[in-house]
């Protein structure tokens, strides 16, 4: 391979100086338009509230690079789209690096220092890599076009579920136009780049340093051969080249100038969103700052700069909408629509030179760009949207912040308001006397220790439903027997235990949550114990992830982890094996919230059951519908409940005998749904504790068998 400096590409050959100067003038104009657009975007973000996400920047940057390089968030549940986007991304990055390399030599190093390197072996390898990168880019874009035009994916339909036809902001056809403009402009840049390369090869086919090395530009060489086959000669190629050169150049510069103003900006906002993501988003909600006059988000300027960045990062891919249980059953909620509404509002209000009046910044209501109260209360805060978002948009924290403002204004269902008042008065959602919290323990043939009065190894935080709901009390008693049988030194808080506050906080009642959390933390800190166990995933989440913000850091585990360990160490001896055909429902607060996928399944297998997974399982599990306080809010008449939707999914499993849950609220929701969805008698809903109970022979206690 010849290293001659003649093996290169002259950029402006046969161009008049005036044409070159004009091109640079247009280029600088494009950069100026781009720079101003970036300034406007940064000004918009600065109008949001501060956010403390600047810690561990290097670690965040490295993690972002890994995520973008592997496309791990994009290939999940949509491998074809993820791989196609990977081709587009890799092609864009390599072509950007290539263009920057040319600029580095041609405009900086050579004129200032006389340094040249874009020739010989380096140039040939450069040409090959960029040809392959451009080909990958075009292939990826063609698939994305095919996907949008012919696959008719519901998640790519921008039809709004929170608006009626005829509403001024119902129509979002502008997004479809923007998508297609983006795809066509991008693919035209790639295609014209290859045609321009081929034209240059035909034009200079009499130069050995060009034609003899044409295969280092394989796509261009193939097109050049085709052009020659159809009669193009050097003279006609030379005449055609300037027109194509200008078209390709102006299209590329226009593309650059439009980046801050169009969908193209997701190239940068998505990466930045990934870098500043909160690994505990939704699992740990933010406290209300002491200097904040009103709770939550009322105006667009109440959002933090990171929230505003997340709005711009959204690529409208629809994965959040596809995963949303509320959307699946026809509720007026699409997580994507919430984000897009707020983005439209922010672009209108915050991109202006002067901020509108405060009354015009209100994001709640029925006007254009505002979010409806019904939309916010439809959310189950299950985190399905946050978990699947490929660019780390944090929908649930934004929704909860907006709920906080609704709660402060008293804009909520009367039954929900009554429940919150009940919790404030009695410390539980059932309105029962605190003295009755451990009434279920009176039926046991042994006494449970009071952890407030004597040291214990394990403190059991029971939770409201496990304490007061008659059906769940049976499960609670079974777990107490199991712990006693295993010789675990455990105790309760009895009447000192209050509602943990997880769902109170996700409803948006931050003041009541802080009252509950502070009381529970004070009680726990006054006790002598090594760790906490709970049968309630909702309590598990807030004690584990949110109590530390209020000074209460405790070792806590869900009962499935503890039971698995007790069985494996022989402290719990299984006297028989079950031969049930079962499926398991992942509770949102154990699964998606805290990645507790394996322990329940391993216990099920230790019991001898045949586990058959539903289509939606683990991180893609479907919410029972109780989360986010929805268990206290009546569902609208005529809308399917998420629990009923889940029963239909389970009913498709041939020979299913037991639908297994490991959450008190799941047991309540799914037993009700079983009765109303037509599957009663086909299979039963059981708590995992009940199956374990069947496998243990107690000294005194009659075990109950599961019948299907």
Q: What is the pLDDT of residues 536-551, one digit of tens each?
A: 999 999 999 999 999 9
3-class SS at 627? coil
Nearest to 41 by CA among 272, 270, 253, 350: 350
Tokens describing residue 169: 């902001």
Query: Could you tell me the CA-to-CA distances from 359 to 99, 294, 353, 356, 611 in Å, in that order?
Result: 47, 15, 17, 8, 56
Spatial contact of 550 and 514, defined as CB atoms under 8 Å apart: yes
Strand ranges for 555-668 from DSSP E: 556-558, 581-584, 610-611, 658-661
Spatial contact of 385 and 322, defined as CB atoms under 8 Å apart: no
Cα separation, 626 vs 420, in Å, equals: 15
List, in sequence order, the alpha helices (H) in 160-304.
173-203, 208-211, 218-229, 234-258, 266-275
3-state secondary structure 81-122: HHHHHHHHHHHHHHHHHHHHHHHHHHHHHHHHHCCCCCCHHH
3-state helix, strand, coil in the chain (%, to 5): 60, 5, 35
Cα separation, 541 vs 593, in Å, equals: 7
Cα separation, 3 vs 495, in Å, equals: 85
| Residues of the chain under the 70 pLDDT cut | 1-3, 700-708
CATH (residue range 280-411): 1.10.1060
Nearest to 417 by CA among 327, 507, 289: 507
Cα separation, 418 vs 470, in Å, equals: 21
Tokens describing residue 117: 């390197």
Domain boundaries of the chain, sorted by first residue: 280-411, 417-694
Q: Give the alpha-carbon dihedral of 336, 337, 339, 341, to 10 degrees.
A: 160
Cα separation, 215 vs 106, in Å, equals: 24
- What kind and span of H or E run contains 145? helix 120-150
Spatial contact of 498 and 509, defined as CB atoms under 8 Å apart: no
DSSP state of 549: G
What backbone phi and psi angles, to 5 degrees, belong to 683? Answer: -150, 170
Query: Could you tell me the CA-to-CA distances from 240 to 196, 198, 230 in Å, in that order?
Result: 9, 11, 15
369: Cβ contacts below 8 Å, ≥ 6 apart: 169, 341, 342, 344, 345, 348, 363
DSSP state of 474: H
Residue the block writes with tokens 């269902």: 413
Residue the block writes with tokens 């049976």: 474
In a 13 Å sphere around the CA of 534, the CA atoms on its Cβ side amount to 28
Cα separation, 181 vs 424, in Å, equals: 54
367: Cβ contacts below 8 Å, ≥ 6 apart: none
- The angle formed by the CA atoms of residues 619, 305 and 96, to the nearest 5 degrees, is 80
Strand ranges for 464-551 from DSSP E: 490-492, 531-534
Q: Own/partner pairs for 646-649, CB < 8 Å, 24+ apart?
A: 646/585, 646/614, 646/622, 646/670, 646/673, 647/673, 647/674, 647/677, 647/679, 648/677, 649/614, 649/615, 649/616, 649/622
List, in sequence order, the alpha helices (H) in 660-699.
664-676, 688-694
Q: What is the largest CA-CA distance in the chain?
A: 101
Neighbours of 487 (CB within 10 A): 10
Residues paired with residue 661 on neighbouring β-strands, in sequence order: 687
Spatial contact of 80 and 129, defined as CB atoms under 8 Å apart: no
3-state secondary structure 30-75: HHHHHHHHHHHHHHHHHCCECCCCCCCHHHHHHHHHHHHHHCHHHH
Among left, alpha and beta (phi > 0; psi -120 to 50; other), residue 471 is alpha
> What is the model's pLDDT at position 664?
98
Cα separation, 284 vs 203, in Å, equals: 63
């Amino acid at each position: 391979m010849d290293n001659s400096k003649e093996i290169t590409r002259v950029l402006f050959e046969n161009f008049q100086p005036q044409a070159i100067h004009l091109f640079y003038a247009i280029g600088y104009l494009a950069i100026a338009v781009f720079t101003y657009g970036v300034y406007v975007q940064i000004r918009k973000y600065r109008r949001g509230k501060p956010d403390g996400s600047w810690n561990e920047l290097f670690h965040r940057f490295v993690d972002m690079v890994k995520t973008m390089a592997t496309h791990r968030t994009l290939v999940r549940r949509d491998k074809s789209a993820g791989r196609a986007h990977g081709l587009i991304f890799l092609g864009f990055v390599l072509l950007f690096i290539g263009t920057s390399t040319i600029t580095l030599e041609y405009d900086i190093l050579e004129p200032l220092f006389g340094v040249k390197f874009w020739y010989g072996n380096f140039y040939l390898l450069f040409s090959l890599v960029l040809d392959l990168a451009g080909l990958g880019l075009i292939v990826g874009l063609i698939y994305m076009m095919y996907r949008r035009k012919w696959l008719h994916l519901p998640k790519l339909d921008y039809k709004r579920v929170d608006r009626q036809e005829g509403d001024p902001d119902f129509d979002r056809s502008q997004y479809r136009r923007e998508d297609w403009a983006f795809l066509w402009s991008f693919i035209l840049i790639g295609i014209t780049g290859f045609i321009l390369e081929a034209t240059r090869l035909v034009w200079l086919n009499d130069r050995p340093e060009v034609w003899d090395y044409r295969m280092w530009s394989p796509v261009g060489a193939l097109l050049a051969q085709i052009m020659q086959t159809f009669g193009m000669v050097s003279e006609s190629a030379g005449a055609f080249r300037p027109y194509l050169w200008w078209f390709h150049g102006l299209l590329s510069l226009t593309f650059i100038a439009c980046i801050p103003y169009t969908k193209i900006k997701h190239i940068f906002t998505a990466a930045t969103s990934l870098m500043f993501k909160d690994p505990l988003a939704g699992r740990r909600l933010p406290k209300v700052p002491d200097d904040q006059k009103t709770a939550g988000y009322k105006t667009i300027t109440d959002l933090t700069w990171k929230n505003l960045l997340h709005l711009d990062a959204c690529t409208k891919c629809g994965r959040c909408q596809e995963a949303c249980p509320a959307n699946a059953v026809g509720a007026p909620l699409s997580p994507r629509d919430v984000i897009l509404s707020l983005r439209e509002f922010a672009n209108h209000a915050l991109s202006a030179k002067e901020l509108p009046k405060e009354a015009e910044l209100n994001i709640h209501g029925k006007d254009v760009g505002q979010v409806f109260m019904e939309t916010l209360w439809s959310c189950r805060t299950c985190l399905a949207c946050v978990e699947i978002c490929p660019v780390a948009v944090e929908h649930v924290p934004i929704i909860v912040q907006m709920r906080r403002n609704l709660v402060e204004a008293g804009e909520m269902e009367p039954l929900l308001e009554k429940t919150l008042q009940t919790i404030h008065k009695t410390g539980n959602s059932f309105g029962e006397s605190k003295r009755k919290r451990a009434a279920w323990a009176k039926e046991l043939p042994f006494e449970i220790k009071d952890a407030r009065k004597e040291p214990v190894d394990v403190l059991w935080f029971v939770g409201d439903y496990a304490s007061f709901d008659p059906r769940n009390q049976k499960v609670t008693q079974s777990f107490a027997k199991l712990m006693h049988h295993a010789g675990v030194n455990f105790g309760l808080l009895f009447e000192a235990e209050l509602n943990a506050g997880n769902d109170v906080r996700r409803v948006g009642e931050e003041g009541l949550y802080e009252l509950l959390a502070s009381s529970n933390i004070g009680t726990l800190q006054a006790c002598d114990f090594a760790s906490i166990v709970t049968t309630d995933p909702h309590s598990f989440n807030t004690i584990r992830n949110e109590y530390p913000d209020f000074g209460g850091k405790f070792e806590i585990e869900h009962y499935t982890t503890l039971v698995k360990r007790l069985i494996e160490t022989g402290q719990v001896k299984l006297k028989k094996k079950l031969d049930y055909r079962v499926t398991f429902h992942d509770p949102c607060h154990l699964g998606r919230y805290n990645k507790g996928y394996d322990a329940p399944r391993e216990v099920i297998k230790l019991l001898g059951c045949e586990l058959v997974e539903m289509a939606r399982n683990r991180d893609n599990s479907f919410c029972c519908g109780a989360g986010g306080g929805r268990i206290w809010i009546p569902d609208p008449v005529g809308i399917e409940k998420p629990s009923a939707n889940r029963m239909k999914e389970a009913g498709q499993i041939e020979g299913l005998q037991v639908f297994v849950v490991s959450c008190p609220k799941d047991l309540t929701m799914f037993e009700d749904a079983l009765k109303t969805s037509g599957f009663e008698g086909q299979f039963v809903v059981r708590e995992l504790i009940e199956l374990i109970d069947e496998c243990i022979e107690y000294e005194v206690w009659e075990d109950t068998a599961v019948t299907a």
